[in-house]
Amino acid sequence: MGVPIQLEVNGQTVRQEVEPRLLLVHFLRDVLGLTGTKIGCDTSQCGACTVLMDGHAVKSCTVLAVQADGSSITTIEGLAQDGKYHPVQEAFWEAHGLQCGYCTPGMILSVVDLLESHPSPSEAEIREGLEGNLCRCTGYHNIVRAVQIAAEAMGK
Amino acid sequence: MIPPKFDYHRPTSVQEAVQLLQSSPEAKVLAGGHSLIPLMKLRLAAPAAVIDIGRIPDLRGIQALDSGELRIGACTTHHEIATSQAVQRAAPLLAEAAAQIGDRQVRYRGTIGGNLAHADPASDLPAVVVALNATLQAEGPQGSRSIPAAEFFVDLMTTTLQPGEILTQIRVPALGQGTGSCYLKFEHPASGYALCGAAAIVSLNPDGSCAQARLCFNGVSARPVDAAAVAQALVGSDLSDGAIDAAVEDHLRVPDPVGDIHASASYRQELAKALGKRALKAARDRARG
């Protein structure tokens, strides 16, 4: 039995009938084709599937699509505006805050959320704020640098 | 991983939710979904129906009464509790524990009611609501009832909630003047769950001696452990480091301690001693201001 949902994804209104058990991450990837959102651990730990739901970072592998009914979702595809990267995307580029890149979309969306509540975070606040996002390549050093660069750029 | 099929209901009131739960006894209640959805994905739970109470307005929000008591809707998120000034003022122990749950993303979705009703012994809130002498409100076919937190947790993942009942509100009395509290945990490094979590509250007499104390633990037994004998031994003492150490060493007993692949029962008991002492000392220091 399908349940009708309506939500905004990267500024576009989407109406769809979905199976109640469909996870938000599968809705984004398989129904809408937005494959920038990754599936990593699939057990609510690694944060690769992080998207913004009404401005807050959430793990889309642990949200049902029906729970997202009426909400506004931002995925990595929706961050750049008018062909210009978001300052957090620029900063990850600048500081080389990645290696394989698999965790990067979720990492970047978590940073966008973190900088919303902590516009100039300390290093400890950055590391704690990103505890829900795992990177198995870089060791986090350049990721922390990227957040610092982004915070500075956005504070100007 | 994909959850098994289920019928989905999204009631708009508590009454409607209770009626739905009565008409489909095999249903599970969904709040934030951060305990239930992982269980369903792992096929450890396969409810025929899911009743999503996450959008019932009455179940959300934090109200501070004139008496100082907090009334917290069951669907209030850990993030809302951790960052609420009202909670930080009246029951800082609850805010401190909520801030340590999972990670940032989990705290935006996970709810206090879902956490307590799930009754995972390695979770952070059970011992905290017991230490705070909170009261849990449940709504069922026979109306509403109040359950003292100390009586709510029956066993591993088992509460005194009856079939057809929904946890609706958590009532937390305010900590008085001259009171300090602390929640400390030793967490499993991968999952973040508590191998042991200690919730301590200390109240001072005007002369600085101990008027009242509470010490409760998560993670060491199938249900929260209330170390009432430790607290009793501290009343009237000068709360020196020595007095706290002696009270814990001499009086801490963990009934039916749990052991698993992550930590043996005896290791958890040692953790409880160490964290209990640290949490009591931190609570004392905060009470002294």
Rounded Cα distance, B215 and B280, in Å: 8
Q: CA B169 to CA B76: how far, in whole Å?
A: 9
Q: What is the CATH T-level fold of the domain B57-172, as seen in this structure?
A: 3.30.465
CATH class (in words) of the domain with range B179-288: alpha beta
CA distance, residue B192 to nearest chain A CA (Å): 9
State both tokens at A2.
């399908």
List, for residues B174-202, the tens digit of each pLDDT value: 999 999 999 999 999 888 999 999 999 99
CA angle (B197, B249, B96) in 5-degree steps: 25
CB contact under 8 A, B33 and A63: yes
Asked if A107 and A51 touch (Cβ cutoff 8 Å), the reply is no
Nearby residues of B78 by Cβ (< 8 Å), 6 or more positions away: B98, B99, B101, B102, B106, B107, B110, B111, B112, B115
**Beta strands across the sheet bearing B194-204:** B179-187, B194-204, B210-218, B225-226
> Widest CA span of chain B, in angstroms?
62
CA A135, A138, A139, A143 torsion-angle sign: negative
Cβ within 8 Å, pair B52-A44 = no
Domain boundaries, chain B: 7-52, 57-172, 179-288
Residues in chain A within 8 Å Cβ distance of B191: 45
* Helix, strand, or coil (residue A133): coil
Spatial distance between the Cα atoms of A115 and B55, rounded to a whole number of angstroms: 27
CB contact under 8 A, A63 and B109: yes
Interchain CB distance below 8 Å, B109 and A57? no
Q: Tell me how far apart the alpha carbons of residues B279 and B283 are, in angstroms, rounded to a whole number.
A: 6
Beta bridge pairs of residue A64:
A23
pLDDT in tens, chain A (156 residues): 699 999 999 999 999 999 999 999 999 999 999 999 999 999 999 999 999 999 999 999 999 999 999 999 999 999 999 999 999 999 999 999 999 999 999 999 999 999 999 999 999 999 999 999 999 998 899 999 999 999 999 998
Is the four-CA dihedral B171, B101, B109, B153 of positive or negative sign? negative
Residues from chain A that touch B102, judged by Cβ atoms under 8 A, are: 44, 132
What is the set of domains in chain A, with CATH numbers?
A: 3-76 (3.10.20.30), 87-155 (1.10.150.120)
Contact state of B52 with A19 under an 8 Å Cβ cutoff: no
The ipTM is 0.97
CATH among 3.40.50.300, 3.40.50.620, 3.50.50.60, 3.30.43.10 for B7-52: 3.30.43.10
Nearest to A58 among B52, B109, B191 (CB): B109
Alpha-carbon gap: A132 to the closest alpha carbon of chain B (Å): 5
